[in-house]
């Protein structure tokens, strides 16, 4: 009878250990490690980032709720006209990358697109576009910076139309709740985009 508590302890310990490892280990190369034949074409290495709306300078849009506001984990891009005036407007890929998710998640997230970006230093970041009205890309396809990937939506009328954009340095995390005081795994999208824009050099 003494073996059972010991066994339970061992199981508990291994669970805690696994959880700690999850938190410590960066998920860089997660996709590559799943499939050793996965190759990033050189033309899709993400060497620049840009805004997801109002190409190229977010013209006609404003960030109504920035990263960290009310523990927001992303940016909320809205048209200057307010309300649903931006419903159906184009949403663009913020960098070259690989679409890993493109479908409805649930009522509050609506249609979600997730793109993994492979950086020149071989690390990865992931962008997430939520509440889309339409999804115009498919999972497992490559996209280029500035490609239209969807349209701005309102999650079936749940919100006034806007784009919720997240940028994550921990790739492949659960979708989460969009708000959290713990920002581990997340970048400030606008700050990151501003530091990685190369618009004057674009063709």
- Report the alpha-carbon distance of residue 82 to residue 61 in Å, rounded: 9
Kindly report whether the peptide bond that precedes residue 176 is cis, defined as omega within 30 degrees of 0. no
Burial 120-139 (b: 16+ CB within 10 A, else e): eeeebbbbbbbbbbebebee
Q: How far is the CB of 163 from Zn ion (least distance, A)?
A: 8
Binding span for Zn ion by CB under 5 A among 81-89, 90-98, 121-129, 158-166 = 158-166
76 sits near Zn ion (criterion: CB under 5 A): yes
Mark the segment that binds Zn ion (CB under 5 A) among 17-25, 29-37, 93-101, 164-172.
164-172
Nearest distance from C-beta of residue 145 to Zn ion, angstroms: 22
Q: How many CB atoms lie within 10 A of CB 99?
A: 19
- Subset of 8-27 contacting Zn ion (CB under 5 A): none
Question: What residue number has its CB nearest to Zn ion?
Answer: 164
**For residues 167 and 116, what is the distance between their CA atoms, to the nearest angstrom?**
10
Residue among 105, 81, 98, 62 at smallest CA distance from 171: 98
Return the number of the residue (75 or 96) whose C-beta is nearest Zn ion: 75
Q: How far is the CB of 159 from Zn ion (least distance, A)?
A: 9
86 touching Zn ion, by CB under 5 A: no
CB of 47 to Zn ion, least distance (A): 27
As measured in angstroms, the least distance from the Cβ of 198 to Zn ion is 26
* Closest distance of CB 58 from Zn ion, Å: 16
131 in contact with Zn ion (CB under 5 A): no
Residue 164 touches Zn ion, criterion: CB under 5 A: yes
Q: What's the gap between Cα 84 and its chain centre?
A: 23
Q: How many residues make contact with Zn ion (CB under 5 A)?
A: 2
- In order of 90, 95, 118, 163, 188, the CA distances from 99 in angstroms are 17, 11, 12, 17, 21
Contact 162, 152 (CB under 8 A): yes
Which is closer to Zn ion, CB of 117 or CB of 164? 164
Per CB under 5 A, residues contacting Zn ion are 76, 164
């Amino acid at each position: 009878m003494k073996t059972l508590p010991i066994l339970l302890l061992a199981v508990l310990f291994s669970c805690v250990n696994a959880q700690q490892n999850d938190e410590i280990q960066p998920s860089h190369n997660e996709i590559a490690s799943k499939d050793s034949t996965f190759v990033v074409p050189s033309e899709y290495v993400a060497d620049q980032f840009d805004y997801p709306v109002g190409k190229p300078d977010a013209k006609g849009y404003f960030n109504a709720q920035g990263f960290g506001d009310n523990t927001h984990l992303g940016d909320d891009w809205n048209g200057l006209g307010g309300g649903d005036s931006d419903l159906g407007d184009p949403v663009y890929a913020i960098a070259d990358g690989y679409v890993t998710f493109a479908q409805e998640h649930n009522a509050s997230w609506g249609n979600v697109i997730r793109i993994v970006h492979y950086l020149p230093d071989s690390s990865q970041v992931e962008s997430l576009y939520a509440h889309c009205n339409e999804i115009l890309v498919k999972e497992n396809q490559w996209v280029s910076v500035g490609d239209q990937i969807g349209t701005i939506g309102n999650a079936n009328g749940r919100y006034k139309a806007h784009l919720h954009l997240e940028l994550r340095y921990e790739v492949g995390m659960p979708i989460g709740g969009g708000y959290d005081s713990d920002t581990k795994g997340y970048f400030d999208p606008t700050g990151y985009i501003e530091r990685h824009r190369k618009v004057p050099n674009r063709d």
